[in-house]
Structure 1
Amino acid sequence: MSLPVTYADVVGAIQTLQGVAHRTPVMTSRLVNARTGCEVFFKCENFQRTGSFKFRGAYNAIAHLSSDQRLRGVLTYSSGNHAQAIALAGQLLNIATTIVMPNDAPAVKQAATQAYGAEVILYDRAEITREQLASQLAAERGSTVIPPYNHPQVIAGQGTTAHELLEDVGNLDYLLVCCGGGGLLSGCAIAAHALSPACKVIGVEPAAGDDAARSFKSKTLQTVSNPDTIADGARTPSLGDLTFPLVLHYVHDILTVTDEQLLRGLFYLWERMKLVVEPTGALAATALLEGGAIAPGARVGIILSGGNVDLQQLKHWC
């Protein structure tokens, strides 16, 4: 079967990102190991540029644009992390960027996106979809659309996250990765398959937005509409036509966690490991901490995907 992204694409992204993206640290915790009965390695993408893994895919995609495309600018849609990533990548490469964001996106993410020099256009989720608005604007402006996850260079760039982790810690028995649209999950699964073939890759998404889990089990693409979850980075309507076949081919399972469980995992990381992680970034860790289907004694990799927390939301969570 011909797949839309290969390991060679991930290797190419490594070269593109060399000296641009941070090689983020891998952290461990004796407390977590004792609690889970596993040897756990946390890949801390909350320390990546713009505060999340999204910078990897965004920069890799923009760097592949032709000179004509660069002149006409880039447009994307995002609740925040991909928005910031595209904005910074555009700033670094001197390319104009326009971001379509929901008006209820975390204020900290809206502010950061504007600070990186992007034009931000807000919309109401109840009135129009972000894809529709982005398509309209791109047609009017002639901009190139780089979506948050369903794009080959974006997927390849995200795969460099797991590639670095496996280079640093060696073979893993399990790799747990958060899942929204599947860009990070599919990219990391490609890298894990190449570097640690016996590793079982497991996606984790919020229970309120379980479209990927349903899609994985039914082998038919499922959707969800504006799921009500604190994991704002995983409010995607579905996997993409690029990420879905990659997930089916490389991923071993997809788990879900409730928002109640996610808050417990989030606060545990904050309080015990002193790691500022946003709710979406804590999905994978929460699945493990809540007793996900991981064999005792296993070597487990956890992707902490981002740390852009809107602290004003705390009063609504507690």
Structure 2
Amino acid sequence: MSLDERKLEVLRAIVEDYIATQEPVGSKSLVERHQLRVSSATVRNDMAALEDEGYIHQPHTSAGRVPTDKGYRLFVDRLSTVKPLSPAERRAIQRLLSGAVDLDDIVHRTVRLLAQLTRQVAVVQYPSLARSTVRHLELVMLTPTRLMLVMITNTGRVEQRLVDMPVPLDEEDVLDLRSKINDKLAGCLLSDSPVLIETLVDETPQPMRSAMATLSNVLLDTLIERREERISLAGTANLARGTALDFPGSFGGVLEALEEEVVLLKLIGEVESPTTLRIRIGDENEFEGLRTTSVVSTGYGPGAVVVGGLGVLGPTRMDYPGTIAAVRAVARYVGELLAQN
């Protein structure tokens, strides 16, 4: 049968009470705490119908009811409002993130902030090299035959390499090489750069061709071999606040999954738009160790460009409206910060 509005209201009340109290919810407490405008008997009948449909279940005899993954999914899908962040929370986000001095600092502050706001495990992906663009390439002459190559992306990510040159260079040679590389690559997606780099050698006059070939090889190496994605994690201790109902058996499997970076990247790194929010509840998670958890994630980046993902992981009994609001707000602030840099 399709759920009518009254049964949806009962389900909403059960979810909210269970999230707040961590205790199975009975019909009497629902009538006392919520303005349902019906009798306890009617609520019991609605709860029986919800249980038959698989939206709630009774963890043991004589206990109240708790939501199932299916019940949480319906609750999330029918959310009409997202709990707004308080002015104090918004000020805390702005104050903490605006004080960041570089990309590492932005990521570390962001992941700590998310864990504090949601009281869950927070995960932030560093801006992906593959999705970034070249802002500037700098060549610094250390000796006539040794340069430092510094690549700065639009997200503030910095890659640097020492390069031993095949021939001695003077300052004018270095300036010329730097100009040619920047003219070719500035503003280009790093994923598109290898083809452009390969043309640099052919377009360089013969006297400097061997030097450009050496720099091109280092650039290609930087782009191809240094594409490993990095993540930052905070708030793992928040899992210990869970009850036996949150993590049936043990949350050892959750901890093991959190140690696998490839798992975390899969959870948060596949969003293509900063306005897209992904919520995976319980068995919707493809990783077995995370099937007692929910993950709320989104992408972030300057403007409409996604350069990485962020999100939180916690028990299925999480404050979905509050968590959604926090994840969206933090992603927006980080995107604005990257756009300013």
Would you say same fold, with TM above 0.5?
no
Could you say which structure has the greater relative contact order, defined with CA pairs below 8 angstroms and 6 or more residues apart? 1
TM-score, length-scaled by structure 2: 0.28
Determine which structure has more spread, i.e. the larger CA radius of gyration.
2
Report the TM-score, using the length of structure 1 for normalisation.
Answer: 0.29
